[in-house]
Structure 1
Amino acid sequence: MRLFSLKLRGWVPPANAFLQFFASSPNSFWLDREFNIQSPISVIGAGVPNEEISTFPDPENRYEDADLPFDWRPGLVGFFEYEGRARFLDVDRAMVFDHDNRHMYLVGLFETEDEFQHWCNAAFLRFGLIGGELAAYRLRAETKGTRSHGKLRHSAQQYLSMIQSAQKHIAAGDVYQICLTNRIEIETSADPLSTFLELRNSNPAPYAAFIRIGDSTLVCSSPEQFLQVRPSGLVSTKPIKGTRPRSSDPETDLGFARELRENEKERAENLMIVDLMRNDIGRVAIPESVKVPKLFEIESYATVHQLVSTVEGQLAEGQSALSALLAAFPGGSMTGAPKRRAMEIIADLEGGGRGVYSGAVGYFGFNGAAEFGMTIRTIVFENGGAYIGVGGGITSDSDPVAELEETKLKAQALLRVLNAADPWG
């Protein structure tokens, strides 16, 4: 098979295109990178469910590539749950949107050019039908109906006790830092796609995604890159540790960002995760290539400031995007350090699985490229309801009350779009 592509004239926003082509598809995806400054390339499409990815890319399948101005290629799109379950779609064609240049592409694997042209012609007809779908979905989102209610896995007092238990493990030398999380189960009849459209409007994020596989739908507004692998084999990760709220007052807002950047506790916590990720990437990269080009940078989003660092390296011979992801999974910013012992303590203290929360969402391309965001700031719709996860990193000098308040801050945008009452009361 061969990769074919066609650059289209004009521009249709991905939201409008997704609603026209895939709104009713049971197995569809939207990798929403409109607000990703480094790589504003969004991709929409549909595929066939696939939970067996251990051999990707299949060495028996060789595809003739095409010269395109972005890394994305057909392959697998989906997510990993924290406990390791993989839920992906086999994708052989998609629509790609270059937000910087306002260019659209049809990209797909086909046996012949005639087959590709037939697909393009069908797409042209659908593009001509795009009209008021987005307005209709926004109206549906605004008409949420009755107030939703959420149930915490751990009450405020229980979460404070968990933090104290974690600090005892730190004092005993079991771990240096540990990420504790909570879960909110929500009774809601909200439409997942309407919810995503509202969330991307109210809380835009660089690693947003909408992925529907069967009866489960992931609605993600993640600010954090978990892992990126370029076709050249350059692998990078951008762990986040440290959060402050935004303010409508510019001077106060700047003060929050400055305090975060200079906070010794947050910097120490961030550095611990940087060291952990250097070790993880070092397992699959050429040792001397592993470096930290950016340390303790502030990235600001609609509701929060975040403290972010970057770790990168060059994949060693025989390594792949999949082996790199497995070496680093789950992301150190969502476990703690040392990772293995932190995960054992997490399993004991949290008393239940995390599911999709703190896993990873993104794609593997047949050209060796991959990009995954951390599944934080994420709503999962399934079994007639929804759940979200929230958490934060705990160190020896963490203030338990402040850590609890940080989890509430992180949940705000998600609870708001679900019209859900504050589960903490």
Structure 2
Amino acid sequence: MRLFSLTLRGWITPADAFLQFFANQENSFWLDRQHNRTDSFSVVGAGVPTGDLTLSSYQDQELPFSWRPGLVGLYEYEGQARFLSVDRAMVFDHKNRKVYLVGLFADENKFQDWCNAAFLRMGLIGGELAVYRHRNLLEGKVRSVKLRHDANRYKQMIKTAQQHIAAGDVYQICLTNQIEIEHNLDPLAVFLKLREKNPAPYAAFLKMGDTAVVCSSPEQFLSVSSSGEITTKPIKGTRPRDSDKDIDEANAKELQTNDKERAENLMIVDLMRNDLGRVAKIDSIRVPVLFEIESYATVHQLVSTVAADLADGESAFTAVAAAFPGGSMTGAPKSRAIEIINDLESGSRGVYSGAVGYFGFNGAADFGMTIRTLVFKGSIATIGIGGGITIDSDPAAELEETKLKAKALLAVINAPDPWA
């Protein structure tokens, strides 16, 4: 199979394209990278569910983006893989306002037939976004919300985790909670509103059978370039945004200089360095960015970057396996932290705190951490929230941080406060 591509002469938005081509398909995806600072190419398409996570060789061509046909999907926190086999898609260059049709075909004539069919449907695009978003959000509503762990239980979990830290079992641990929502909402309408109100660099919409994932993640889990460079950008440390500029800047500065937050972030940096060391060339691991502030619609985040080069014989698959689940969602040391998490949390995390993204036929991969995410299945949706716990953590403050992380998601669906 050969890779073919065609650049359109005009611009259409990913939202209009997804609504016209893929919204009604049972298995579809939208990797929304419009607000990604290093790779602002969004991809929309559809695929076939597959349990085969191997990729055969093919004939590539040079393109200005890293995405290639291959596998698109997610890993749940507990390790279950759910992927679509994708052989064609539409890629959107937000910076230069270009649209590419990209696909694997046996010959150029078959590729051109697909392009011609796409051109006919593009002529029908006009106003779908505004109509769809307005109609479907008005029709849906939240019926009830409930917490997996109430406020008192969550604070007790934090205290128990701190006992483990004091005993030397772990240095840091990420505890999470879950909000369960009964609703009749339309997941795609929720995503359209969420990406407008809370833009994020690793946003995604996945529809896989009876499950829809609405993700507005600020965090990169792991990327691997086609040349073998690995990058991970763990987040540890959160502060609220404020409409007052002086207060907002003070919140960001306090986060960047806070000893507890820096120590917690550094623990995860060291953990990720260790994980990448399993698949990286000797002496290639580096930390190009340490304790950087990234600001989003509702929060400031403390972010670091760890990079390395793949060793001979390793691949994007082995790199993801070595680092999964992401250290920022477990704690350190990872294996013992996971054991404690399993004891303290009263249910599985599922999609939350896993990873969503793609593996390409060219050897590249890019996954975001599945946080700031709603997972829809039937009339039930769930939101996972959590935070890193250290010996110095204040249980009341940690509880408030989980509320802050849920704020944007709850606001988008007009849900009541589950802690009230």
Task: Name the CA distance, whole Å, in 1 between partners of 2:140 and 2:351.
Answer: 27
- Work out the percentage of aligned pairs sharing the same amino acid: 70
Spell out, residue by residue over 1:29-88, the C-alpha distance to the aligned partner (whole angstroms, 9 max, x if none).
Answer: 0000001111100000000001332xx22xxx3211111111110000000000000001
Q: Does 1:149 align with 2:136?
A: no
Does residue 169 of structure 2 align to residue 174 of structure 1? yes
Q: Which residue of 1 aligns with 2:360?
A: 365
Q: Which aligned pairs between 1:55-74 and structure 2 lie closer than 5 A?
A: 56-57=54-55, 61-74=56-69
Deviation at 1:146, TM superposition (A): 4.2
CA contact (8 A) 1:179 1:336 kept: yes
SS in 2 for 1:355: coil
In the alignment, is residue 320 of structure 1 matched against residue 319 of structure 2?
no
State yes or no: 1:421 paired with 2:410: no
Alignment pair present for 1:117 and 2:112: yes
Distance 1:51 1:196 in 2: 27
Alignment-derived partner of residue 330 in structure 1: 325
Give the aligned partner of residue 94 of structure 1: 89
Distance 1:131 1:344 in 2: 52
Q: Please give the alpha-carbon distance, in whole angstroms, between the structure 2 residues aligned to 1:302 and 1:320.
A: 35
Q: 1:246 touches 1:303 (CA, 8 Å); kept in 2?
A: yes
3-state DSSP class of the match of 1:408? Answer: helix
Q: Given the two structures, how large is their TM-score scaled by the length of structure 1?
A: 0.98
How far apart are the structure 2 equivalents of 1:141 and 1:181?
31
Aligned-residue RMSD, C-alpha: 0.8
> Does 1:258 find its partner at 2:250?
no
Answer whether contact 1:148 1:419 (CA < 8 A) is retained: no
Partner of 1:24: 24
Query: Is 1:397 paired with 2:392?
Result: yes
Does structure 2 conserve the Cα–Cα contact (< 8 Å) formed by 1:188 and 1:418? no
Residue aligned with 1:317, SS: coil
Distance 2:382 2:91 in 1: 30
What do residues 271-326 of structure 1 show as CA deviations (whole Å, max 9, x unaligned)? Answer: 00000000000100012000100000000000000000000000000000010000
Change (3 A) 1:165 1:328: same
User: Displacement of 1:352 after TM fit?
Assistant: 1.1
In 1, the alpha carbon distance for the partners of 2:51 and 2:198 equals 30
Letter in 1 for 2:356: V
Deviation at 1:148, TM superposition (A): 3.4
Structure 1 equivalent of residue 4 of structure 2: 4
Are 2:299 and 1:304 equivalent residues in the alignment?
Answer: yes
User: Which SS does the other structure have where 2:283 is aligned?
Assistant: helix
Report the Cα distance in structure 1 between the residues aligned to 2:120 and 2:193, rounded to whole angstroms: 28
Opposite residue 241 of structure 2, the aligned amino acid is R
**Distance across 2 between alignment mates of 1:411 and 1:149:** 16
Alignment partners' CA distance in 1, 2:3 and 2:241 = 44
Report the alpha carbon displacement of residue 144 of structure 1 after superposing the two structures with TM.
4.9
Q: Is the 8 A contact 1:2 1:64 kept in 2?
A: yes
- Residue aligned with 2:52, SS: coil
Comparing 254-263 with 43-52, greater Cα deviation is found at 43-52
For residue 147 of structure 1, report the CA deviation from its aligned partner: 4.2
- Report the Cα offset of residue 169 of structure 1: 0.2
Distance 2:282 2:3 in 1: 34
CA distance in 1, matches of 2:350, 2:202: 19
Equivalence map 1:76-91=2 (5 Å):
76-91=71-86
Is the CA contact 2:142–2:185 (under 8 Å) kept in the aligned structure 1? no
Which residue number corresponds to residue 352 of structure 1? Answer: 347
Instruction: Show the counterpart of 2:244.
Output: 249
- Contact (CA 8 Å) 1:294, 1:310: kept in 2 or not? yes
Cα shift readout 1:361-392 (whole Å, capped 9, x = no counterpart): 00000000000000000000013210010000
| Structure-2 separation of matches of 1:387 and 1:148 | 13
Aligned pairs for 1:166-245 within 5 A = 166-245=161-240
Within the alignment, does 1:285 sit opposite 2:280 as a pair?
yes
Report the Cα offset of residue 150 of structure 1: 1.1
| Alignment coverage as a number of residue pairs | 420
Q: Residue type matched to 1:422 in 2?
A: D
**1-side partners of 2:287 and 2:339: how far apart?**
28
Please give the alpha-carbon distance, in whole angstroms, between the structure 1 residues aligned to 2:287 and 2:333: 19
**Matched residue, 2:48:** 48
CA distance in 1, matches of 2:409, 2:57: 42
Q: Residues 141-181 of structure 1: CA distance to partner in whole angstroms, max 9, x if unpaired?
A: 54155443211000000000000000000000000000000
User: Cα deviations across residues 173-231 of structure 1 (Å, max 9, x unaligned)?
Assistant: 00000000001110011100000000000000000000001000000000000000000
Structure 1 361/114 Cα, relative in aligned 2: closer, same or farther at 3 Å? same
The runs of 5 or more residues in structure 2 that have no matched partner are none
- The answer (yes or no) to whether the contact 2:137–2:186 under 8 Å persists in 1 is no
Letter in 2 for 1:415: L
SS at match of 1:151: strand
Q: What letter is aligned with 1:332?
A: G
Q: Which stretches in structure 1 are left out of the alignment for 5+ residues? A: none
User: Deviating runs (4+, > 3 A) in structure 1?
Assistant: 144-148
SS where residue 398 of structure 2 aligns? helix
Q: 1:420 to 1:305 in 2, by over 3 A?
A: same
Q: Distance in 2 between matches of 1:2 and 1:203?
A: 38
- Does the 8 Å CA contact 1:144/1:419 hold for their aligned counterparts? no
